[in-house]
Amino acid sequence: MILFVCIFFTPVITSGSFTYQENLDSEIISVNPNGFVWPLPGYTRISSYFGKRVSPTSGASSSHSGIDIPAPEGTKFIAVADGTITFTQFLGAGGYTITLSFDNYRVTYCHCSPNYIVKVGDTVKQGQVIGHVGPKYVYGVKGNQYSDSSGKPTNGATTGTHLHLGIRIDGKYQNPLNFF
């Protein structure tokens, strides 16, 4: 018996960006002129922008250090660039968090699923699936001080399922939209 395995890589050059198809439920991933890819293919709405805001829930900051991209629990998210996973733990208001590091950048993905598919020390490629959007509620997390109005413990300071994306350069938070 002969078995053929096909991997498709279809490059397309369009106005200074490089687009390719990867095995991510047939989504198209675009590398923008800054060299980054959008972390949640197929989900582009932003529910909370970088900077000053009204805190959406108790414990959430009024100075938002990233952007929030709403998506259903279990939605795959990808590495915005090649790098190394340097953190995978529950992190206070960010809930379950993954940090991707490269050069002087630290990219944080917050409110993730606690069922991590990467671990600290993993080297990942741009466009690689590194996690899933987590649930709103998490139980049994030692030290979790966050809950909703009904008292149920939440995945950090959150009102619903979404990916919070933060980007730091040399430790200083930047507006992620400057990179996309």
For 122-170, how does the pLDDT look when each residue is reduced to its tens digit (9 = 90+)?
Answer: 999 999 999 999 999 999 999 999 999 899 999 998 889 999 999 999 9
The whole-number average pLDDT for the span 77-91 is 97
108 or 24: which leads in pLDDT: 108
The beta-carbon contacts of 167-174 under 8 Å, at least 24 apart in sequence, are 167/66, 167/105, 167/106, 167/107, 167/108, 168/105, 168/106, 168/107, 168/108, 169/104, 169/105, 170/104, 171/106, 173/50, 173/65, 173/66
What is the pLDDT at residue 9?
33
> Pairing mode, if any, of strands 28-31 and 17-21?
antiparallel
Give strand pairing partners of 89.
97
The domain segmentation of the chain, as residue ranges, is: 37-179
Residue 145 CA to residue 141 CA, distance in Å, equals: 9
Residue 116 CA to residue 150 CA, distance in Å, equals: 27
62 or 73: which leads in pLDDT: 73
Residues 6+ apart with CB under 8 A from 89: 96, 97
CA angle 79, 82, 87 (to 5 degrees): 65
154 or 16: which leads in pLDDT: 154
Contact 46, 68 (CB under 8 A): yes
What is the pLDDT at residue 7?
35
pLDDT grade, residue 64 (50/70/90)? Answer: low
- Averaged pLDDT of the chain: 83
φ, ψ (nearest 5 deg) of residue 80: -75, -15
Class of CATH domain 37-179: mainly beta
The whole-number average pLDDT for the span 49-60 is 60
What is the pLDDT at residue 50?
79
pLDDT grade, residue 39 (50/70/90)? Answer: very high
